[in-house]
Amino acid sequence: MSEHRCDIKLTVNGETISETVEARTTLVDFLREALSLTGSHVGCEHGVCGACTVRVDGVIVRGCLMLAAQCDGAKVETIEGVSDAGEIADLQAAFERRNALQCGFCTPGMLLTAQELLRGGGVPSRDKIREQISGNYCRCTGYQAIVDAIEAVAQERAEAKR
Amino acid sequence: MKPAPFAYAKARSLDHAIELLGRDEARLLAGGQSLMATLNMRLSAPKLLIDLNGVAALGGIAVKDGTIEIGALTRHIEAERSADIAKHAPLIALAMPHIGHPAIRNRGTLGGSLAFADPAAELPACLLALNGELEIAGPKGKRTVKAEDFFKGLFETALGPQDVLTAIRVPAATKDTRVGFAEFARRHGDYAMVGLAAAARADGKGLAGLRLAYFGVGATPVRAKKAEAALANGHVDDAVTALASDLDPSADVQADGATKRHLAGVLLRRVAKQLMEPRA
């Protein structure tokens, strides 16, 4: 019952996966190493940088602060799945257009974090956008362009709804 | 870094969790937003992790007999969105957006934060300000501990090795309830350099039952009792002066003691304003 290895069955980007994992394997390491989904990045490994952000059961979490063993029965979505589904195509385009990325290390986490705010609808204030991405480090851009891109997409989506 | 090897077990019930805690070097895993970081950095290396997620008895928010009870496994995001907490525990509602970042709040639990007892965390101070109590289950059954008796020292609480924190209870707010909350953090969502949670009852032009609970200024949340007495009579300047004898913050990685003491005074003035305003 209590084991060092666990059998898990979950969906990752819509695909059903059955694997045996070491109990100590974090979700992000499982995604990267067992499933070769390397869009989720491993940065600080203690929940500070946000590079490992993925969605579990519809909400963003730190991939380094959750065990793969805890994801038995869960629905996991990574940047690969969310990107392929076209859900954030406008956000990705805005990031490119406004130079909201340089090295790209923070970008997958930044996009998923921004999308969680934007999914709520409306046009959030710049302060609210900054608060939302406060847990995601970017060491290239100085954040200004990222806030610009997120704000622009919020406005575009609000406009398109009218 | 990666965690050292451990065994993993899902608790099927509260009793099962308590039974599993009887094993050698077992730790409870709730939201994991602090514990997982310490495992990754090998600051802790338990032999067994007992996953509480899925123990339904630890969830839920209920209001009865002038008390609001919040299950230990309630996640920060649930508390943040709870209409019951906004109405009946407005101090907790005020503090919630300061706790961690969105992805952290989606997983982290109120019980986990209280049981971990980080000296710079928001919730322990809120519970102390509200004169709340914590319900604990262990091998001999359930017991209740007041917030002021729960936080014993640095990361040290009244929880025994086979105890599970099951719920917290705070008096439900009335129309006379006044609360205030403010903190300084270098980055929004980070642990505070200094923070202040406060609760009182409006009493004419003054405040009755005022409790000022600072965090980030000692090993545990700290009441500023002389400042409480001064502020209850409306003397904000005297209250700020009184902090010199109430608080003795030592330096940490964030700031030296003198800076923290200064910031404590700034926060007191901000919170005093909040306390004087009727609740919406």
Q: Dump pLDDT digits (tens) for A89-111.
A: 999 999 999 999 999 999 999 99
Task: Answer yes or no: do A73 and A124 share one domain.
Answer: no
Spatial contact of A53 and A62, defined as CB atoms under 8 Å apart: yes
pLDDT tens digits for range B185-241? 988 888 899 999 999 999 988 899 999 999 999 999 999 999 999 999 999 999 999
Whether the per-residue pLDDT at A25 is higher than 90: the answer is yes
Could you tell me if A99 and A123 lie in one domain? yes
Q: In terms of domains, do A122 and A108 share one?
A: yes
Domain residues for the domain of A125 are: 86-161
Interface of B with A in 182-241 (CB under 8 A): 187-189
pLDDT at B175: 94
Number of Cβ pairs < 8 A linking chain A and chain B: 101
Do B2 and A24 make contact, defined as CB atoms within 8 angstroms? Answer: yes
Q: Would you tell me how many other CB atoms lie within 10 Å of the CB of residue B74?
A: 22
CATH number of the domain that A123 lies in?
Answer: 1.10.150.120
Total number of domains constituting chain A: 2
Number of other CB atoms surrounding residue B81 within 10 Å: 12
pLDDT greater at residue B277 or residue B58:
B58
Residue B243 CA to residue B13 CA, distance in Å, equals: 45
Q: Are residues A55 and A19 in the same domain?
A: yes
Q: Based on the domain organization, do A135 and A93 belong to the same domain?
A: yes
ipTM of this complex prediction, to 2 decimal places: 0.95
* d(C-alpha A65, C-alpha B178), whole Å: 36
CB < 8 Å to B8, chain A: 2-4, 6, 23, 67, 69
Question: Which domains, and CATH codes, for chain B?
Answer: 7-51 (3.30.43.10), 58-171 (3.30.465.10), 177-276 (3.30.390.50)
CATH number of domain containing A78: 3.10.20.30
Nearest residue in chain A measured CA to CA from B105: A61
Smallest Cα distance from B130 to chain A, Å: 27
Q: In B7-150, where do the E strands start and end? A: 7-10, 26-29, 48-51, 61-64, 67-71, 133-138, 141-146
pLDDT at A1 over 50: no
CB A52 within 8 A of CB A63: yes
Residues 6+ apart with CB under 8 A from A74: A10, A11, A56, A57
pLDDT at A2 exceeding the cut of 60: no
Q: Which of B37, B48, B187 is nearest residue A65 as measured by Cβ atoms?
A: B37
Where is the domain boundary, A44, A60, A82? A82
CB B242 within 8 A of CB B224: yes
For residues A74 and A97, membership in a common domain is answered with: no
Instruction: State the Cα–Cα distance between residues A53 and A79, nearest whole angstrom.
Output: 9
Last residue of one domain, picked from the residues A41, A64, A82? A82
Per DSSP, the three-state class of B136 is strand
- Residue B159 predicted with pLDDT over 50: yes
Same domain, A37 and A75: yes
CB-CB neighbours of A155 under 10 Å = 11
Are residue A121 and residue A96 in the same domain, yes or no? yes
Q: Do A155 and A90 fall into the same domain?
A: yes
Lowest mean pLDDT among B15-19, B102-106, B251-255: B251-255
Tell me the C-alpha distance between A14 and A73, whole Å. Answer: 12
Please indicate, yes or no, whether residues A66 and A109 belong to a single structural domain of this protein: no
User: Residue B266 has which token pair?
Assistant: 């700034």
Whether the CB-CB separation of A130 and A143 falls below 8 Å is answered with: yes
Residues A105 and A42 in one domain: no
DSSP B146-164: EHHHHEEETTEES--TT-E
A82, A104, A139 - which closes a domain? A82
